[in-house]
Amino acid sequence: MSQVKLQAPAGEMLRLLEELAAFSAPGPGVTRLLYTPEWSGAQHFLQEKMLGAGLETRTDAVGNVFGRLSGTGGHDKVILTGSHIDTVVHGGKYDGAYGVAAAVTALGYLRDTFGPPRRTLEAVSFCEEEGSRFPVTFWGSGHVTGLYSGGGAADCTDLEGITLREAMAACGYPASGAAALRGDIGAYVELHIEQGLVLEQAALQIGVVQAIAGQRRYTARIGGAAGHAGTTPMGLRRDALAGAAEMLLWLERAAQDAGDPLVATAGRLEAYPGTPNVIPGEVHFTLDIRHSEAGILEGFCRAAADAFAAVARRRGLTLALEETLATAPAPMDPELAGRLERLCVEQGLTHRRMVSGAGHDAQLFAPRCPAAMIFVPSRGGISHAPEEYSSPEELAAGLNLLTALLYELAYL
Amino acid sequence: MSQVKLQAPAGEMLRLLEELAAFSAPGPGVTRLLYTPEWSGAQHFLQEKMLGAGLETRTDAVGNVFGRLSGTGGHDKVILTGSHIDTVVHGGKYDGAYGVAAAVTALGYLRDTFGPPRRTLEAVSFCEEEGSRFPVTFWGSGHVTGLYSGGGAADCTDLEGITLREAMAACGYPASGAAALRGDIGAYVELHIEQGLVLEQAALQIGVVQAIAGQRRYTARIGGAAGHAGTTPMGLRRDALAGAAEMLLWLERAAQDAGDPLVATAGRLEAYPGTPNVIPGEVHFTLDIRHSEAGILEGFCRAAADAFAAVARRRGLTLALEETLATAPAPMDPELAGRLERLCVEQGLTHRRMVSGAGHDAQLFAPRCPAAMIFVPSRGGISHAPEEYSSPEELAAGLNLLTALLYELAYL
What is the residue-wise DSSP string for B154-166?
GG-B-TTS-BHHH
Residue B162 has pLDDT above 60, yes or no: yes
Closest by CA to A87, choosing from A5, A50, A32, is A32
Residue A109 has pLDDT above 50, yes or no: yes
Q: Please measure the distance between the N-terminal and C-terminal CA atoms of chain A and give it in whole angstroms.
A: 8
Residue A235 is predicted with a pLDDT of 96
Cβ separation B230–A359 shorter than 8 A: yes
The confidence band for B151, taking pLDDT boundaries of 50, 70 and 90, is low
* Chain B residue with the nearest C-alpha to that of A201: B236
Closest by CA to A237, choosing from B232, B160, B251, is B251
Residues of A in contact with B256 (CB under 8 A): 234-235
Which pTM was predicted?
A: 0.89
Per-residue pLDDT of B62-121, as tens digits, reads: 999 999 999 999 888 999 999 999 999 999 999 999 999 999 999 999 999 999 999 999
Distance CA A188, CA B182 (A): 86
Return the residue in A231, A248, A269 with the most chain B beta carbons within 10 A, the one to mutate for interface testing.
A231
* Chain B residue with the nearest C-alpha to that of A255: B234
Residues of B in contact with A252 (CB under 8 A): 234, 239, 242, 245
Using an 8 Å Cβ cutoff, are A19 and A38 in contact? no
Question: In degrees, to the nearest 5, what angle opens at C-alpha A81 toward C-alphas A77 and A84?
Answer: 130
Length of chain B: 412
Return the residue in B88, B90, B265, B282 with the most chain A beta carbons within 10 A, the one to mutate for interface testing.
B265
Spacing of C-alpha B64 from chain mean position: 16
Using an 8 Å Cβ cutoff, are B295 and B215 in contact? no
Residue B305 is predicted with a pLDDT of 98
Angle between helices A10-21 and A37-52 (to 10 degrees): 160
**Which of A10-19, A207-216, A223-232, B102-111 has the weakest average pLDDT?**
A223-232
Using an 8 Å Cβ cutoff, are A160 and A334 in contact? no
Return the residue in B137, B234, B279, B322 with the most chain A beta carbons within 10 A, the one to mutate for interface testing.
B234
Facing A267 at nearest CB: one of B196, B197, B276:
B276
Residues of B in contact with A267 (CB under 8 A): 229, 271, 274-280
Residues of B in contact with A235 (CB under 8 A): 256, 260
* Chain A residue with the nearest C-alpha to that of B272: A268
Give me the residue spans of the domains in chain B: 10-212+329-411, 217-327
Return the residue in A265, A297, A388 with the most chain B beta carbons within 10 A, the one to mutate for interface testing.
A265
Per-residue pLDDT of A355-388, as tens digits, reads: 999 999 999 999 999 999 999 999 999 999 999 9
Facing A249 at nearest CB: one of B246, B356, B358:
B246
Q: The domain at A10-212+329-411 falls in which architecture?
A: 3-Layer(aba) Sandwich (3.40)
Give the contacts of A274 (CB within 8 A, at least 6 positions apart).
Answer: A280, B267, B268, B269
Distance CA B245, CA A245 (A): 4
Q: The domain at B217-327 falls in which architecture?
A: 2-Layer Sandwich (3.30)
**Which of A125-139, A252-266, B1-15, B352-366 has the weakest average pLDDT?**
B1-15
Using an 8 Å Cβ cutoff, are A129 and A96 in contact? yes
CATH number of A214-326: 3.30.70.360
Max Cα–Cα distance, chain B, nearest Å? 83
ipTM: 0.89
Cβ separation B288–A274 shorter than 8 A: no
Distance CA A294, CA A292 (A): 7
Residues of A in contact with B363 (CB under 8 A): none
Residue A76 is predicted with a pLDDT of 85
Cβ separation B267–A245 shorter than 8 A: no
Quote the minimal CA–CA distance from B264 to chain A in Å: 7
Strands (E), A273-370: 278-279, 282-291, 318-327, 330-331, 351-356
Strands (E), B194-344: 206-212, 214-223, 227-228, 263-265, 269-272, 278-279, 282-291, 318-327, 330-331
